[in-house]
Amino acid sequence: MRYSGFKVFTEGLFGNKGWRPAWRDPAPKAEYDAIIIGGGGHGLSTAYYLAKNHGLTNIAVLEKGYLGGGNIGRNTTIVRANYFLPGNSEFYSHSLKLWEGLEADLNYNVMHSQRGLINLFHSDGQRDAFARRGNAMVNQGDDAELLDRDGVRALLPYLDFEQTRFPIYGGLLHRRGGTARHDAVAWGYARGADQRGVDLIQNCEVTGIDVENGRVTGVQTTRGAIRAKKVGIVVAGRSSQVAAMAGLRLPIESHILQAFVTEGLKPVIDHVISFGMGHFYISQSDKGGLVFGGDLDFYASYAARGNLPMVEHVMEAGMTLMPMIGRAKVLRSWGGIMDMSPDGSPVIDRTGIDGLYIDCGWNYGGFKAVPASGWCMAHLMATDRPHEVARRFTLNRFATGHLLDEEGTGSQHNLH
Ligand SMILES: Cc1cc2nc3c(=O)[nH]c(=O)nc-3n(C[C@H](O)[C@H](O)[C@H](O)COP(=O)(O)OP(=O)(O)OC[C@H]3O[C@@H](n4cnc5c(N)ncnc54)[C@H](O)[C@@H]3O)c2cc1C
């Protein structure tokens, strides 16, 4: 069933009786050509591109809960291509181009909104760093504009330009950056994969990975054993646990990141804004809620909820930057389990086990990566070769020391 304005109109005329479920609810088969563990954004996009780009359709996505219940439905929805280092910048540039055609490709409204992202800077040193980043973005073929203080004031007049502790010097504007509705992205990919014959199996937790003579042969699940020629581990915050089922020890730590949303307000914040002197970023959803977040909770955990010290820290940063939001009531907050790598960059790679692949290490930036991650993971699983734009996302860089450390904070998971 194709979605269109015409379809909405005619369904409205005839009592909305013609809509069908967006995907099937199949029972697991005994064997698949490929299994993807994890029905988050990355797992679903991998399945979609395996089917669409490589013609593999005897595939299952195994999800222990429900599709979109993980980080893909918990993030602050920021989409951008403003990376600095070769390795990251071409990957995220590719991802943003896929975002720009995603709704037409999926025939699904993911509410992708290129409303512009502004990273504020508050010192001469920060200005230099952002100018350098902007040049790298432009060299990569993406967009960047350096705004001075008046340029920022023209776009964001409600910021506190008077406070002296963290004066606003200017900002780096990335016009093609913005937001998308996070769970719609999971639903759009799920529907697209299902239409191409992929079995999406919910409430099916993988409890073991079968390996014989150095080759993967299938998985054990709460719904029985399933054989497979190829298996992709795409489970974000659970990466270390699932990889351990195959005897692998990953350089990943799982940490909590919280997000917050206020009551619905009239449109007031037109852009995505990030504060340069504290970890705080904010946008306004199409429903009117202010959606914002900050830093990790600073300790490793598998609890998908956060704690009060970080709530206070985030609110303080928000109030410092834009005191007007102090009048808004926070309605909800929640946490997600982030797969933090030692250099802050991801992994899309083979493992030492034939037919077993891994996609992880998205830190807190994996939402914008969903299209390119699926594209590149599908390429790797179908061809056994890394995709050109993901060739540096290897596991062995943590052994060789060829790190992709965008933040320059060194090899410490919770600092990225
Ligand atoms: C609060 C917060 C804010 C964020 N903000 C942004 C942002 O603004 N921009 C951005 O780019 N990124 C952001 N991120 C990061 C982004 O959401 C994640 O990097 C990304 O969603 C992770 O990939 P995923 O979608 O595949 O993960 P998930 O949706 O978590 O998918 C993994 C799936 O694997 C399943 N699974 C785990 N173990 C098993 C098992 N044994 N068997 C079967 N299934 C299993 C889980 O149930 C889960 O559904 C944010 C994250 C959080 C939590």
Q: What is the pLDDT of residues 260-285, one digit of tens each?
A: 999 999 999 999 999 999 889 999 99
Q: The whole model's pTM is what? A: 0.97
pLDDT for 298: 84
Q: What is the pLDDT of residues 8-52, one digit of tens each?
A: 999 999 999 999 999 999 999 999 999 999 999 999 999 999 999
pLDDT confidence band for 323 (50 / 70 / 90): very high
Q: What is the pLDDT of residues 388-407, one digit of tens each?
A: 999 999 999 999 999 999 98
Q: Which atom belonging to ligand 1 lies closest to the Cα atom of 204?
A: 43
Sequence-ordered list of residues with C-beta below 8 angstroms from that of 153, at least 6 positions apart, any chain: 159, 161
Contacts 24+ apart (CB under 8 A), 167-170: 167/122, 168/120, 168/121, 168/122, 169/121, 169/122, 169/123, 169/124, 169/126, 169/127, 170/120, 170/121, 170/127, 170/130, 170/146
Q: What is the CA radius of gyration of the chain?
A: 21
Q: Which atom belonging to ligand 1 lies closest to the Cα atom of 207?
A: 41
CA distances from 335 to 79, 255, 273, 288 (A): 19, 10, 21, 21
Decide whether any atom of ligand 1 lies within 6 Å of the 240 Cβ: no
pLDDT confidence band for 409 (50 / 70 / 90): confident
Q: Are 242 and 37 in contact (CB under 8 A)?
A: yes
**Rounded distance between C-alpha atoms, residue 175 and residue 179, angstroms:** 11
Decide whether any atom of ligand 1 lies within 6 Å of the 41 Cβ: yes
pLDDT confidence band for 379 (50 / 70 / 90): very high
Q: Which atom belonging to ligand 1 lies closest to the Cα atom of 368?
A: 11
pLDDT for 316: 95
